[in-house]
């Protein structure tokens, strides 16, 4: 059970984001069958209705497709997945920038922090000092 949800947004939206990230990373491969609502509810430690809502939205958005009898599948549409891969960094950067501003770091300062950090890590993003 991994219910480290942030406090400010509905849980179903946060599950949508996690699933989208998995699709973008290829952890959920194009055309792959999606686990059942029950299994996902247990995995995330949330109400099955919440999962149902997340999956229905993902279907509306075109990232999942429902087969009448056999369940839900990740889209096989390469263009949709490619578009998702460009969208996700924006979301991550958005959260990051909001956090930094929340810490009282002025907007023009943020790129300096990023640059300094990037210089400190190796190609996999691991801190060289450690």
Q: Which of 47, 94, 109, 113 binds another protein (CB under 8 A)?
A: 47
Neighbouring-strand partners of residue 121: 127
CB nearer another protein, residue 8 or residue 123 = 8
DSSP structure class, residue 107: G
Phi, psi of 127 (to 5 degrees): -65, 125
Selected range binding another protein among 2-10, 25-33, 63-71, 88-96, rule: CB under 8 A: 2-10
Stretch that binds another protein, among 5-13, 28-36, 78-86, 120-128 (CB under 8 A): 5-13
Residue 44's alpha-carbon distances to 14, 64, 94, 110, in angstroms, are 11, 18, 24, 33
Please select the residue that binds another protein; options are 17, 21, 53, 71, rule is CB under 8 A: 53
Q: Does 91 bind another protein (CB under 8 A)?
A: no
Q: Which of 30, 56, 51, 31 is nearest to 39 (CA)?
A: 51
Half-sphere exposure of 110 (CA within 13 A, CB side): 16
For another protein, the binding residues in 21-40 under the rule CB under 8 A are 38
User: Which residues of this protein are in contact with another protein, per CB under 8 A?
Assistant: 1, 3, 5, 7-12, 38, 41-42, 44-50, 53
């Amino acid at each position: 059970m991994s219910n480290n949800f942030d406090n400010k947004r509905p849980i179903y939206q946060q599950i949508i984001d996690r699933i989208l990230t998995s699709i973008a990373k290829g952890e959920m491969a194009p055309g792959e069958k999606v686990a059942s609502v029950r299994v996902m509810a247990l995995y995330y430690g949330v109400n099955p209705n919440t999962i149902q809502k997340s999956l229905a939205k993902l279907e509306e958005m075109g990232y999942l497709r429902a087969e009448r009898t056999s369940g839900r599948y990740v889209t096989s549409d390469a263009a949709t997945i490619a578009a998702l891969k460009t969208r996700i960094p924006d979301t991550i950067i958005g959260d990051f920038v909001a956090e930094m501003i929340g810490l009282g770091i002025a907007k023009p300062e943020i790129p300096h922090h990023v640059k300094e950090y990037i210089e400190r890590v190796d190609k996999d993003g691991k801190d060289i000092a450690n």
